[in-house]
Amino acid sequence: MSVIAVVGAQWGDEGKGKIVDMLAEKASMVIRFSGGPNAGHTVHNPYGEFSLHLVPSGIFYPHTACIIGSGVVVSPSVLLDELEQLWKKGVNTSKLLVSTRAHLIMPYHIILDRLEEQAKGAGALGTTRSGVGPAYADKVARLGIRAGDLADKEGLLRRLRFVLEQKNLILTRIHGAPPLSVEEVYDQLCQYADRLAAFIRETEPIISQAVERNEPILLEGAQGTLLDIDFGTYPYVTSSSVIAAGAFAGAGLHPVKMDHILGIMKAYTTRVGAGPMPTELGDETGERIRQIAQEYGVTTGRPRRCGWFDAVATRYSALINGFSGVALTRLDVLDAFDSIKVCTKYKADGKIIDQFPSSTLQLERCQPVYDEVPGWQSPTAHLRRFQDLPPLAQSYVRKLEHLVGCPINIISVGPHREQTIVTKAIL
Ligand code: IMP
């Protein structure tokens, strides 16, 4: 059996979708274990170009079962739109399943995400406003509605009346917003229930059987370690456990040996939303990276904050996740630069720091300390073997490997499946 977790090593948008799409060919199951429609996994393959928010990136292989696990919060409307998009391009989705235990994003979650962000003013987190935070908050507050609840319409109505009464108090009394009608929300939920019924299952026994049969299973993460609810740059984080340790609970898989914990990291750094990012470049170099890489959010279209590679942050990600290897993505973006910087340490309060601080206030004061290396200044997108990379690109990869303390198993030099250099086969 091979159980492989694929986890973001930075602030999300590292290119997990492409790597999962590639690895899923040999997997019998891909389980998405965290996040919700805030994620945007871009996949380019023979079916076309897709932005997947909820459906696991293994959906393009008819032999691969795709499961949306209990740790994901599901927006029924986003899921249905995504299915339409896949059907239009001829993708077979009959092996998609949604855990009965996955919580649903309700219309009031989306409204509250917006209102709460507005109320925070300058302290806003810059969320994707997809209702993810409020849905996880309700899960923990035991006010959630789960995918499995859609199967019992009478029970659903009772639960909705109870929950909506409380939500309407918050909407009207705290935010001065209009209340939602139970009947309207219920009618909409019933329509979703009919359309999604075929996908909603007790997925945990199915996963357990796959483990018993020693099948190769991929655990697909969303966002990145630095956005993790516990280990990210709190409070500028998302609301779920996005790290490898969260994969078991979020997938509905009992702890087994993970054969590989693959961290995904870009050859530079990006972040969307508020919060500290020590290597952010507010100058023309940052803009140049953004333009070359088209660093705009898949879910929100927002320009991403861009900067040089931060080895302090990624080394910390490796420590938190126990990466056994790394996939380095978007190396080709740096092809044209005559010199490239890598942050190896921080400087704060007159001291050199080489560990990622747990205090976000301290991180805000951290200035990057850079090593500068010459760029290779030649295209790499067509190369398929490590030894064919320009020597300066090889040394850049080796430098990151050394700084992060993890072997780089995969190098991605373009968005398409074949634009990949594999230095160690994972599946
Ligand atoms: P939320 O997850 O929508 O609540 O947003 C919380 C923070 O996580 C914000 O800074 C978002 O920009 C960020 N975020 C959420 N999902 C993603 C993602 O898939 N990629 C990058 N950033 C994300």
- Answer for the pair 37, 132: CB distance below 8 angstroms, yes or no: yes
Q: Whose CA is nearest to atom 21 of ligand 1?
A: 12
What domain count does the chain have? 3
Percent share of the chain, pLDDT over 70: 100
- H/E segment holding residue 3: strand 3-8
What are the φ and ψ backbone dihedral angles of 220, each rounded to 5 degrees? -95, 115
Question: Are both 344 and 293 inside the same structural domain?
Answer: yes
Q: Output the pLDDT for position 298.
A: 85
Question: Are both 239 and 348 inside the same structural domain?
Answer: no
Question: Are both 230 and 86 inside the same structural domain?
Answer: yes
Q: How many CB atoms lie within 10 A of CB 152?
A: 12
Per the domain annotation, does 37 fall within a domain? yes
Question: Are both 168 and 301 inside the same structural domain?
Answer: no
**Residues 277-336 pLDDT 10s:** 999 999 999 999 999 999 999 888 999 999 999 999 999 999 999 999 999 999 999 999
Identify the domain boundary among 181, 196, 211: 196
Question: Are both 315 and 364 inside the same structural domain?
Answer: yes
**Residues 184-233 pLDDT 10s:** 999 999 999 999 999 999 999 999 999 999 999 999 999 999 999 999 99
What are the φ and ψ backbone dihedral angles of 91, each rounded to 5 degrees? -85, 135
Q: How far is the CA of 26 from the centre of ligand 1 (A)?
A: 30
Q: How far is the CA of 127 from the centre of ligand 1 (A)?
A: 5
The helix/strand/coil state of 380 is coil
Residues 13, 21, 228, 310: which is the catalytic one?
Answer: 13
**Residues 51-93 pLDDT 10s:** 999 999 999 999 999 999 999 999 999 999 999 999 999 999 9
Q: Per this entry, what is the length of the chain?
A: 427
Per the domain annotation, does 245 fall within a domain? yes
d(CA 386, CA 128): 37
Q: Whose CA is nearest to atom 10 of ligand 1?
A: 273
Q: Mean pLDDT across the stretch 389-396?
A: 98
Question: Are both 297 and 388 inside the same structural domain?
Answer: yes
Q: Output the pLDDT for position 41.
A: 87
d(CA 380, CA 328): 13
Q: Count CA atoms closer than 13 A to 348's CA, side-chain side.
A: 17
Question: Are both 273 and 395 inside the same structural domain?
Answer: yes
Residue list, ligand 1 pocket, CB within 6 Å: 11-13, 38-40, 125-128, 130, 132-133, 222-223, 227, 236, 238-239, 272-273
- H/E segment holding residue 159: helix 153-169
Active site residue 81: no
Instruction: Examine the pLDDT at 385 and tell me if it is beyond 80.
Output: yes
**Residues 136-167 pLDDT 10s:** 999 999 999 999 999 999 999 999 999 999 99
Q: Output the pLDDT for position 427.
A: 84
Which distant-in-sequence residues (6+ apart) come within 8 Å of 10 by Cβ?
224, 225, 226, 265, 266, 269, 270, 271, 310, 313, 314, 317
Identify the domain boundary among 261, 284, 308: 261
Question: Are both 411 and 320 inside the same structural domain?
Answer: yes
Strands (E), 221-320: 260-266, 269-271, 305-307, 309-310
Q: Which atom of ligand 1 is nearest to the CA of 227?
A: 8
Q: Whose CA is nearest to atom 11 of ligand 1?
A: 127
Residues 21, 41, 53, 103: which is the catalytic one?
Answer: 41
Question: Are both 19 and 80 inside the same structural domain?
Answer: yes
Q: Output the pLDDT for position 208.
A: 95
Question: Are both 269 and 313 inside the same structural domain?
Answer: yes
Domain holding 358: CATH number?
3.90.170.10
Which distant-in-sequence residues (6+ apart) come within 8 Å of 358 by Cβ?
none
Question: Are both 78 and 147 inside the same structural domain?
Answer: no
The stretches of 170-267 forming alpha helices (DSSP H) are 182-196, 203-212, 244-251
Question: Are both 31 and 90 inside the same structural domain?
Answer: yes
Biggest CA pair distance of the chain: 66
Per the domain annotation, does 83 fall within a domain? yes
d(CA 4, CA 17): 14
Identify the domain boundary among 196, 225, 246: 196
- Residue 133's pLDDT band (cuts 50, 70, 90): very high
Domain holding 188: CATH number?
1.10.300.10
d(CA 417, CA 96): 22
Strand partners, 412: 420
Per the domain annotation, does 374 fall within a domain? yes
Which distant-in-sequence residues (6+ apart) come within 8 Å of 212 by Cβ?
none
Per the domain annotation, does 427 fall within a domain? no
Instruction: Examine the pLDDT at 1 and tell me if it is beyond 70.
Output: no
DSSP string, 319-366: HHHT-SEEEEE-GGGGTT-SEEEEEEEEEETTEEE-S--S-HHHHHH-
Q: Tokens for 144?
A: 């959630």
Q: Whose CA is nearest to atom 16 of ligand 1?
A: 38
Domain that holds residue 301: 265-422
Across the chain, mean pLDDT equals: 97
Q: Are strands 305-307 and 269-271 parallel, antiparallel or unpaired?
A: antiparallel
Active site residue 371: no
Q: How far is the CA of 273 from the centre of ligand 1 (A)?
A: 7
Domain holding 212: CATH number?
3.40.440.10
Q: Which atom of ligand 1 is nearest to the CA of 222?
A: 19
Q: Tokens for 345?
A: 């340490």
Q: Output the pLDDT for position 426.
A: 87
Q: Which atom of ligand 1 is nearest to the CA of 13?
A: 20
